[in-house]
Amino acid sequence: MTHRIVIVGGGAGGLELATSLGKTLGKRGTASITLVDANLTHIWKPLLHEVAAGSLNSSEDELNYVAQAKWNHFEFQLGRMSGLDRAAKQIQLSATLDPETGLELVPARSIGYDTLVIAVGSTTNDFGTQGAAEHCLFLDTRKQAERFHQQLLNHYLRAHAGHDESRAQISVAIVGAGATGVELAAELHNAAKELAAYGLGRIAPENMRITLIEAGPRVLPALPERIGQPVHQTLEKLGVTVLTNAAVSEVTAESLLTSSGQVIPASLKVWAAGIRAPGFLQEIDGLETNRINQLVVRPTLQTTRDDDIFAFGDCAACPQPGTDRNVPPRAQAAHQQASLLAKSLKLRIEGKALPEYTYKDYGSLISLSHFSAVGNLMGNLTGSVMLEGWLARMFYVSLYRMHQAALYGLFRTGMLMLGSRIGRGTEPRLKLH
């Protein structure tokens, strides 16, 4: 019987793994590869801040799972994982409903596996802050990013159509000065300039008041301070108000309240602080999880209580040897783990020992829209090299191209780059609908 590999989650890591296994094990008939996701299309999660600001049209940069499966010898199943039966080696998928009518599109069902890989990513963690879930927008999915963009655009359209001077300004508060919060703040400043250039100028660029709020002592707390300091300075030069040591204790419809009593008015509020794995993973059928719902795995990426179930990416708590910390929830870690699992699952089918994962930090790059980029690259020969400006921006863009190359191959990625270059002359630089 053909070995059945089921991958749950079509994010960057899960999709790269399914594509790699499909090209090898699937094409040769050594294993059947099934990818499960609740959506029909994929967009690279680090780009969602650009979707929110309107500088990226998600319809043009999306990947269709059904087509990708056909081209790469794996099967795609639409559905959201809701349960696990380890004894029967099955996962349960909940029914998929039509968002407009509520009618059932795809029924609830079970899928059997011999090897299960869980790569469902993470969602934003609001830490139970009062009012955050009700009044803040999140940027975990394409739909959420598009919702933010539409609300932003609505502010400009209302101001453009009326004569009420109170509408001629907009205040945006972003909670969390990690990569997402920092990049969104810079991208919104660029969006304000572009919207004014397209004639929606009743809200002048300087009247988009952006406040970035961080509970810790500095921006980009997970990255080296030598990266965070120039980023902080650049944001302030762009007119972004940066508040550090300011923990948000409550969110209302009109403002945010910090633990020190400061009130920050905001018409648009984005929560981009902290992560947690999806709630359905919490001790699912007896698997070990931590306090933020991550599945605890060994260095082989197998879960601690079931050798047939692997987990990787943001939804997995993978130890870093020699430290008391886990692998950080970063795109490069998911990419590395997907590459390792592509080899490991072939060895598993052959009955051979599995390699262990060791995290390699190749540096960090932060994009500040078209204004700048800052980061460092790390390697065995070069050590740590600080980058800033145009060169850092080029390296940042190359990260997405590497992701595309893993999915499409070099030739098709080159064609996509060419098409994107040609399209710049015929399309607005900002999505205006």
319 — pLDDT class (breaks 50, 70, 90): very high
Question: Pick the residue with more confidence: 244 or 365?
Answer: 244
381 — pLDDT class (breaks 50, 70, 90): very low
pLDDT of 369 above 90: no
The full 3-state SS of the chain, as one line of letters, equals CCEEEEEECCCHHHHHHHHHHHHHHHHHCCEEEEEEECCCEECCHHHHHHHHHCCCCHHHHCEEHHHHHHHCCCEEEECEEEEEECCCCEEEEECEECCCCCCEEECCEEEECCEEEECCCCEECCCCCECHHHHCECCCCHHHHHHHHHHHHHHHHHHHHCCCHHHCCEEEEEECCCHHHHHHHHHHHHHHHHHHHCCCCCCCHHHEEEEEECCCCCCCCCCCHHHHHHHHHHHHHCCCEEECCCCEEEECCCEEEECCCCEEECCEEEECCCEECCHHHCCHHHCCECCCCCEEECCCCEECCEEEEEECHHHEECECCCCCCECCCCHHHHHHHHHHHHHHHHHHHCCCCCCCCCCCCCEEEEEECCCEEEEEEEECCCEEEEEECHHHHHHHHHHHHHHHHHHHCHHHHHHHHHHHHHHCCCCCCCCCC
Q: Do 289 and 122 contact (CB within 8 A), yes or no?
A: no
Mean pLDDT, all residues of the chain: 90
Rounded to whole angstroms, how far apart are CA atoms 214 and 326?
Answer: 23
**Once rounded to an integer, what is the mean pLDDT over residues 66-77?**
97
Q: Which of 54, 74, 31, 51 is nearest to 407 (CA)?
A: 74
Beta-carbon-side half-sphere exposure of residue 17 (alpha carbons within 13 Å): 36
Look at residue 166 in the predicted model and tell me its pLDDT: 60
Look at residue 64 in the predicted model and tell me its pLDDT: 95
426 — pLDDT class (breaks 50, 70, 90): low
Q: Where are the domains of the chain?
A: 3-122+277-349, 132-271, 363-423
pLDDT tens digit sequence for 280-298: 999 899 999 999 999 999 9
pLDDT tens digit sequence for 215-249: 999 999 988 888 888 899 999 999 999 999 999 99
Share above pLDDT 90 across residues of the chain, in percent, rounded to a whole number: 66
Paired tokens of 259: 């633990």
Let me know if domain 132-271 sits in CATH 3.40.630.10: no
CA angle 89, 301, 328 (to 5 degrees): 130
Q: Alpha-carbon Rg of the chain, whole angstroms?
A: 22
Question: Pick the residue with more confidence: 34 or 415?
Answer: 34
Question: Pick the residue with more confidence: 166 or 99?
Answer: 99
Phi, psi torsion values for 281, nearest 5 degrees: -80, -15
164 — pLDDT class (breaks 50, 70, 90): low
**Which residues 6+ apart lie within 8 Å of 206 measured at CB?**
239
Rounded to whole angstroms, how far apart are CA atoms 46 and 379?
Answer: 23
Look at residue 167 in the predicted model and tell me its pLDDT: 67
Domains 3-122+277-349 and 132-271 share a fold: yes
Question: Pick the residue with more confidence: 260 or 412?
Answer: 260
Look at residue 382 in the predicted model and tell me its pLDDT: 47
pTM of the model: 0.91
pLDDT of 182 above 70: yes
**Once rounded to an integer, what is the mean pLDDT over residues 382-411?**
74
**Which residues 6+ apart lie within 8 Å of 99 measured at CB?**
none
pLDDT of 58 above 90: no
Question: Pick the residue with more confidence: 252 or 391?
Answer: 252
| Least confidently predicted of 110-114, 116-120, 330-334 | 330-334
pLDDT of 321 above 80: yes
Q: Which CATH superfamily is domain 3-122+277-349 in?
A: FAD/NAD(P)-binding domain (3.50.50.60)
Q: How far is CA 123 from CA 83, 139, 144, 275, in A?
A: 18, 9, 12, 6
